[in-house]
Amino acid sequence: EADIYQTPRYLVIGTGKKITLECSQTMGHDKMYWYQQDPGMELHLIHYSYGVNSTEKGDLSSESTVSRIRTEHFPLTLESARPSHTSQYLCASTGSGTGGYEQYFGPGTRLTVT
């Protein structure tokens, strides 16, 4: 069973608020990822990190930002939430010890911006 956690699981917030979605893993994985999942189920990579102090933007442009100060922690921040940010956000991780680069996913945060 994967040990990767996301909080909150559900969040309803008003436009203009600043929010941080938390993601933590206890597997010591060096690589972590954030995906946005649209209602049609498709996954879009929005951020990734090779390790501490390393962050990169993914394939889908996003107004969110991320940080990686500790190996186990990879929070995502939206400075000013908008209705267009309403989505499911999934965090994942992988490490050099995982065979074939499989990713372990958290349970997701479902964000609704009103």
Partner 1 sequence: GDSVTQMEGPVTLSEEAFLTINCTYTATGYPSLFWYVQYPGEGLQLLLKATKADDKGSNKGFEATYRKETTSFHLEKGSVQVSDSAVYFCALANSGGYQKVTFGTGTKLQVIP
Asked if residue 102 binds partner 1 (CB under 8 A), the reply is yes
Give the integer Cα–Cα distance in Å for 45 and 57. 8
Which residues inside 69-98 make contact with partner 1, applying CB under 8 A?
90, 92, 94
Asked if residue 108 binds partner 1 (CB under 8 A), the reply is yes
Q: How many CB atoms lie within 10 A of CB 88?
A: 15
CB of 12 to partner 1, least distance (A): 16
CB environment 24-33: b (16+ within 10 A), e (fewer): bbeeebbbbb
- For partner 1, the closer of residues 50 and 79 by Cβ is 50
Asked if residue 47 binds partner 1 (CB under 8 A), the reply is no
Q: Are 34 and 23 in contact (CB under 8 A)?
A: yes
Give the binding-site size for partner 1 (rule: CB under 8 A).
24
Give the integer Cα–Cα distance in Å for 60 and 63. 10
Kindly tell me which residue out of 25, 81, 87, 106 binds partner 1, with binding defined by CB under 8 A: 106
Which positions touch partner 1 (CB under 8 A)?
Answer: 2, 6, 31, 40-43, 45, 48, 50, 56, 90, 92, 94, 99-108
